[in-house]
Amino acid sequence: MEIWGLIRQRAEHYRDYTSSNLSEIVRIRSLSGEEREVIEKIKSLLESADFDEVKIDGLGNLIGRVGNGEKILAIDAHIDTVDTGDINQWEFDPFSGEIKDGFVLGRGSVDQKGGAASMITAGKILKELGYDGLFTVYFTFTIMEEDCDGMCWNYIIEKERLVPDFAILTEPTNLGIYRGHRGRMEIELYFRGISAHASAPERGDNAIYKASRAALEIEKLNYRLRNDDFLGKGSVVATLIESKSPSLCAIPDHCRIHLDRRLTWGETRESAIEEVREVIGNEAVIEVPIYNRASYKGTLYKQEKYFPTWKIPEDHYLVKVASQAYELLFQEVPRIGKWTFSTNGVAICGKHGIPTIGFGPGNEVYAHAPNEKIPIDHLVKASAFYALMPYILEETID
């Protein structure tokens, strides 16, 4: 039997194993910065699957290794999740991990513990097949992505010195092959005024009014931003405004606006700041905030909240190999696309230039939404895809 047929057969054989593992890790709450318990659980699963090496790095990411080849393929899943939101909008317990009607239910099943469960099975399959080829395959279960996408991989590359030749992100793609997404950044605008008694507002300088006029200019700016045929249009939107004053009967002397800026191809940190400066003039101090939250291990790895845009060409070698693997396994042509949201690709490819694709189980419409659930069929197919990729890469690499 061809290797792709054998892998597909084994992935199907492990259907219940994969869904059961996902059910177990969905039952463990793992908000950003609170991932210790789920990391320890996945670590035990990797050890039981006989991975060649299993370790937790200095930040708290879990890294499992299969093989010892000269080239490196990294397959990544972040295992932190967002919170549940309004619990009354859920039709089931978000942390039940219930397996029902061909789905695994619960928070994180799609975004993105489903990818993690499929990775565990893929590693198990590679071990059972005795994979010992050109690639070392690192399965990374990363933390704090929901809080600061890419920071975990900046740590892996810059501190752990683990630099892949290729990377696969297992964020949900509905089993399409994705090759990029818009970048993003956060921008803070700080406005200063002069306080005075609210009974005589003409004596002061109202920081809220300054900020409000600026917010209207930001709204207009949004419609003028650059567009890319593949990634789509850049965007900017005010998502928070808050003020300070000596009291509620005083003119506010400080006001802050928080901007969410999505960056399409060709837009950069510098160009985005300059566009804002042009429309608001000298009315505010403009800053890009710094992420400085410690991980569950107490490690602090600061970074600016700028997350570069990335994409690779549709005719890139990695896209072609992924398409070949997909067609062998599933006997159809894959859908090539992009994410609407941001991923760890902002660091792996956007900052460090490592060729990266996405292939993940689940539909992204369930990400961060109530009633999150993932098809078990997707988990099985993703397991097979991840296990086959090092073989196909090895056969076709220059």
Which residues participate in catalysis according to the annotation?
80, 145
Rounded CA-CA distance 129/50 in Å is: 12
Rounded CA-CA distance 164/1 in Å is: 30
Contacts of residue 184, defined as CB under 8 A and 6 or more positions apart, other chains included, come to 260, 261, 262, 263, 307, 342, 346
The 10 Å Cβ neighbour count of residue 349 is: 26
Can you list the positions of beta strands (E) in 122-248? Answer: 135-142, 166-169, 177-178, 180-181, 183-192, 227-228, 232-233, 235-244
CB 65 within 8 A of CB 52: yes
67 to 117, 123, 167: CA distances (angstroms): 19, 10, 16
What is the 8-class DSSP label of residue 71?
A: E
Q: Please, what's the largest Cα pairwise distance for the chain?
A: 86
CB 123 within 8 A of CB 388: no
Rounded CA-CA distance 236/263 in Å is: 9
**Cα-flanking dihedrals φ and ψ of residue 126, to 5°?**
-60, -40
CB 273 within 8 A of CB 289: no
CB 43 within 8 A of CB 88: no
Peptide bond into 89 cis (omega under 30): no
Contacts of residue 375, defined as CB under 8 A and 6 or more positions apart, other chains included, come to 102, 103, 361, 362
Identify which of 35, 38, 300 has the alpha carbon closest to the alpha carbon of residue 154: 300
**CB-side exposure of 244: number of CA atoms within 13 Å?**
5
Rounded CA-CA distance 120/122 in Å is: 5
Residue type, 168: I
What is the 8-class DSSP label of residue 333?
A: P
